Amino acid sequence: MATSGAVSSPTGLRPLPPWIRTRPPTGDRYAGVRTLLLDQELGTVCREARCPNLPECWSAGTATLMLLGTDCSRRCGFCAVRTHWGNGAVDASEPDRVARAVERWGLKYVVLTQVCRDDLPDGGASILADSVRAIRTRRPTVLTELLVGDLGDSERALASVLAARPDVLGHNLETVERLSPKVRDRRAGYRTSLRLLARARSLGGPTLITKSSIMLGLGETDHELAQAMADLRAVGVDLLTLGQYLQPSPAHVAVARYVPPAEFDRYGELAREAGFRGVESGPMVRSSYHAEELYASAGGARGG
């Protein structure tokens, strides 16, 4: 990952356009975030998924914490996170370490995500819920956003996560329906993702905000993207992020095209017209990018 200027393109991949750029790390907060993560032995999606926004976000004193370790039981064609079967191993101290990190950070808003853990009966739901509760114990006013996997399509597992009362429940659709089998692991699915989001809307109560994300540049058409937006709105999704897919290595799914910023602006307007309460759309946008600002722009909690 480049730390300034254009994002570096791994050898063997098509060159990146000039609008794919990162900001250099600045100030003491970048080093502080790095030190805190090392001290608490915590993983982040920023680092594990090679997010190009890492320098900007860590310099601002924010990071998206990754729960249930840093190895995923799935192998999606777009994702840089390492695949490894966990054999049921869980670190029960993780929720408390996450809560300590949030307390030391002094955060008002925290984003927690997870690796998929198909080796666990509940997909890791208990650790997710315990992490939210541990954060609330130490800092009761913190707003918590959970970005979850499909939890094995288990309504019971999802209900146990929602019982901890996160403020935002995110789950990424990732791509349009036609491309989903190519882009995502065979155990994932377009309809499975929509089903989880519909259940979250039903089980989460009137104050829960739901959120999803779609990567562009994988070969989707405008019609397919509009249909994906309509499908998300049909299950009550409130917030949407749209960003450019970047190929992590030659072994991953290839980029079909780099979408110009002006097109992202247009897609963002289409998403707002579709009824999403908050939208972030741009080449460098990722699912947790400017999460607190997006939550606030949508007016906070439903009914708030």
Tokens of 189: 């699915």
* Residue of 94, 97, 93, 37 whose CA lies nearest to 62: 37
Whether the Cβ atoms of residue 53 and residue 108 lie closer than 8 Å to each other: no
Residues 6 or more apart from 28 whose CB is under 8 A from it?
none
> Comparing 30-39, 124-133, 221-230, 249-258, which segment has the lowest mean pLDDT?
30-39
**Confidence at residue 69, expressed as pLDDT on a 0 to 100 scale:** 86
Whether the Cβ atoms of residue 276 and residue 239 lie closer than 8 Å to each other: yes
pLDDT exceeds 50 at position 54: no
For 166-188, how does the pLDDT look when each residue is reduced to its tens digit (9 = 90+)? 999 999 999 999 999 999 999 99
pLDDT exceeds 60 at position 280: yes
Look up the pTM and report it: 0.87
pLDDT exceeds 60 at position 55: no
Whether the Cβ atoms of residue 53 and residue 46 lie closer than 8 Å to each other: yes
**Confidence at residue 59, expressed as pLDDT on a 0 to 100 scale:** 42
- Nearest-angstrom CA–CA distance, 251 and 240: 28
pLDDT exceeds 50 at position 48: no
Give the pairing of strands 65-67 and 43-44: antiparallel
For 90-144, how does the pLDDT look when each residue is reduced to its tens digit (9 = 90+)? 999 999 988 988 888 787 888 898 999 999 999 999 999 999 999 999 999 999 9
pLDDT exceeds 50 at position 5: no
81 or 219, which is more confident: 219
Instruction: Please identify which residue in the block is written with the tokens 């699915």.
Output: 189
113: part of which helix (H) or strand (E)?
strand 109-114
> With the C-alpha atoms ordered 252, 257, 262, 265, is the resulting torsion angle positive or negative?
negative
152 or 58, which is more confident: 152
Give domain limits for the chain.
5-297
Whether the Cβ atoms of residue 230 and residue 212 lie closer than 8 Å to each other: no
5-297, what's its fold? TIM Barrel (3.20.20)
| Averaged confidence pLDDT in the chain | 86
| Residue 112 phi, psi (nearest 5) | -120, 130
**Confidence at residue 199, expressed as pLDDT on a 0 to 100 scale:** 98
